[in-house]
């Protein structure tokens, strides 16, 4: 299954991407994340692994791709207290050409025993608060 959320932020795509491309800064802007540490591979290079402290325990995620040209990245969960499997997430920042603002989209695919419940959780408890936090930041 998949989860998706998007928003328009009152800053340029380049400015928002410069902030979001940092794989190690999630605790600065995602509500509920109390710690984020790069364990292996450097901050923003594919292969980097971050350890997150958040609701329910510890998460470990690997950066799979980082593309400055398309202002996009993908990552996957390695370990999580959430009942998900085969998790892959994607985020992208694109310019809104008529306003100079940034369009941000965030999506994930995953398997879960209760897909509808996990989809609702990811969108409502991760994506929506994260995008709202980015609005406040910019």
Rounded Cα distance between 55 and 72, Å, is 26
Where in the sequence is the domain holding 98, given as residue range(s)? 2-137
Q: Under a CB-based contact definition with an 8 Å cutoff, are residues 20 and 130 in contact?
A: no
The percent of residues above 70 in pLDDT, for the chain, comes to 100
Q: Under a CB-based contact definition with an 8 Å cutoff, are residues 59 and 81 in contact?
A: yes
Burial (CB count <10 Å: 0-12, 13-18, 19+), residue 90: middle
Summarised one tens digit per residue, pLDDT across range 45-94 is 999 999 999 988 999 999 999 999 999 999 999 999 989 999 999 999 99
Helix (H) or strand (E) holding 78: strand 72-79
CATH code assigned at 29: 3.30.530.20
pTM of the model: 0.93
Angle made by CA atoms 99, 31, 115, in degrees to the nearest 5: 90
Q: How many separate domains does the chain show?
A: 1
What's the whole-number mean pLDDT along residues 98-120?
Answer: 95
């Amino acid at each position: 299954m998949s989860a998706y959320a998007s928003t328009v932020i009152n800053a340029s795509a380049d400015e928002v991407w410069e902030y979001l491309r940092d794989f190690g800064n999630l605790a600065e802007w995602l509500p509920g994340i109390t710690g984020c540490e790069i364990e292996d591979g450097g901050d923003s290079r594919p292969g980097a692994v971050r350890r997150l402290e958040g609701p329910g325990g510890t998460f470990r995620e690997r950066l799979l791709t980082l593309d400055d040209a398309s202002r996009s990245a993908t990552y996957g969960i390695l370990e999580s207290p959430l009942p998900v499997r085969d998790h892959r997430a994607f985020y992208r920042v694109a310019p809104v050409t008529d306003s100079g603002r940034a369009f941000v989209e965030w999506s994930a695919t995953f398997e879960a025993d209760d897909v509808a419940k996990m989809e609702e959780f990811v969108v409502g408890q991760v994506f929506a608060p994260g995008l709202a936090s980015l609005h406040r930041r910019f």
